[in-house]
């Protein structure tokens, strides 16, 4: 399966400490109606580190059911233990997900050979398309372009979410292999598309699903002027999504726009008043109706 276009890194809504399944399903339907090309639950934006294993699995089930096969679901199944990543990936396949997003193992700081063996172990044992996820600011380790190229030779490793913030990284990857690159940084999506990326796994698409999809679509239709116009218009909100640790700002934005609560779990905590002012200004300047 080929993953491309605007894919949303879904937030996980909570209500009184528990996953709000009804709201989650509604958010899925909203994304599909807005033209989003794919759903990515239980990634970083979905607060996977603070979900129990059963909650993690349940979020995948809810999203797959709500999507109803209308768009691909790429479930986050990464872990810093290969056995745990294998277990989650097997569950994602059984639940009907179309792919798995696997972040590099965090905290362990494996070597490049260790990273290769980690992904290889899962890919060889679960027949499910796998999207590598490289976000060294979160994990403390980065997949080298040479390792990505090596992994791309495994049949069901089909894409990489590139969130290093480096244009050179994507250029190096695509100079070495033909793996599908998906932007992991909203503010860099358009530049990465110009280098050969095929889409984005987007945080800001939680807030602006139609606009994100339109920007990517405009680029692929050759309307680069329109794509740039949308990029620059969304850019202040893209930046505001990261004034504090993701997903604190995007969840506050979703609350301000009436989509879900901004409840997060410790060690994440509510947004500071100073940063909320920055976020509110970006939303209002865009023309959104802040409650």
- CB burial of residue 52 (10 Å; 0-12, 13-18, 19+): exposed
Tell me the C-alpha to C-alpha distance, in Å, between residue 278 and each of 160, 188, 202, 241. 31, 20, 20, 10
Q: How far is CA 196 from the centre of its chain?
A: 19
Q: Which residue has the higher pLDDT, 72 or 291?
A: 72
Neighbours of 134 (CB within 10 A): 25
Q: For 19-67, what is each residue's pLDDT tens digit?
A: 999 999 999 999 999 999 999 999 999 999 999 999 999 999 999 999 9
Which pLDDT tens digit goes with each residue over 218-243? Answer: 999 999 999 999 999 999 999 999 99
Residue numbers annotated as active site: 133, 161
Q: Show the CA angle centred on residue 116, arms to residues 59 and 133, nearest 5°.
A: 35
Confidence tier at 111 by pLDDT (50, 70, 90): very high
pLDDT band at 130 (very low <50, low <70, confident <90, very high): very high
Distances (CA, A) of 205 to 108, 189, 281: 31, 12, 18
| Residue 198 pLDDT grade (very low, low, confident, very high; cuts 50, 70, 90) | very high
Asked whether 27 and 13 are in contact (CB, 8 A), the reply is yes
Is the pLDDT assigned to residue 1 strictly greater than 90? no
The structure tokens listed for 63 are 């999203």
Confidence label for 291 from pLDDT (cuts 50, 70 and 90): confident
* Domains observed in the chain: 5-208 (3.20.20.70)
Taking the alpha carbons of 275, 55, 28, 181 in that order, is the dihedral positive or negative? Answer: positive
pTM of the model: 0.96
């Amino acid at each position: 399966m080929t993953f491309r276009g605007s894919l949303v890194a879904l937030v996980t809504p909570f209500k009184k400490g528990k996953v709000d399944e009804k709201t989650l399903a509604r958010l899925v339907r909203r994304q599909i109606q807005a033209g989003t090309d794919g759903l990515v639950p239980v990634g970083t934006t979905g607060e996977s580190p603070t979900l129990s294993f059963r909650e993690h699995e349940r979020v995948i089930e809810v999203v797959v059911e709500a999507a109803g096969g209308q768009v691909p679901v790429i479930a986050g199944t990464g872990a810093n233990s290969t056995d745990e990543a294998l277990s989650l990936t097997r569950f994602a396949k059984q639940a009907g997900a179309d792919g798995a997003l696997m972040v590099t193992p965090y905290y362990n700081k494996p070597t490049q050979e260790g990273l290769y063996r980690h992904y290889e172990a899962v890919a060889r044992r679960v027949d499910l398309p796998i999207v590598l996820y490289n976000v060294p600011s979160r994990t403390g380790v980065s997949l080298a372009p040479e390792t990505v190229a090596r992994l791309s030779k495994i049949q069901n490793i089909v894409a990489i979410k590139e969130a290093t913030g480096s244009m050179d990284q994507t250029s190096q990857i695509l100079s070495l292999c033909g793996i599908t690159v998906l932007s992991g940084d909203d503010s860099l999506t358009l530049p990465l598309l110009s280098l050969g990326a095929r889409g984005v796994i987007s945080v800001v698409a939680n807030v602006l699903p139609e606009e994100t999809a339109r920007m990517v679509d405009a680029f692929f239709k050759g309307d680069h002027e329109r794509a740039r116009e949308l990029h620059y218009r969304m850019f202040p909100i893209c930046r505001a999504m990261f004034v504090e640790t993701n997903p604190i700002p995007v969840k506050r934005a979703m609350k301000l726009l009436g989509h879900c609560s901004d409840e997060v779990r410790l060690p994440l905590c509510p947004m500071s008043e100073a940063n909320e002012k920055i976020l509110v200004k970006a939303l209002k300047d865009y023309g959104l109706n802040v409650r």
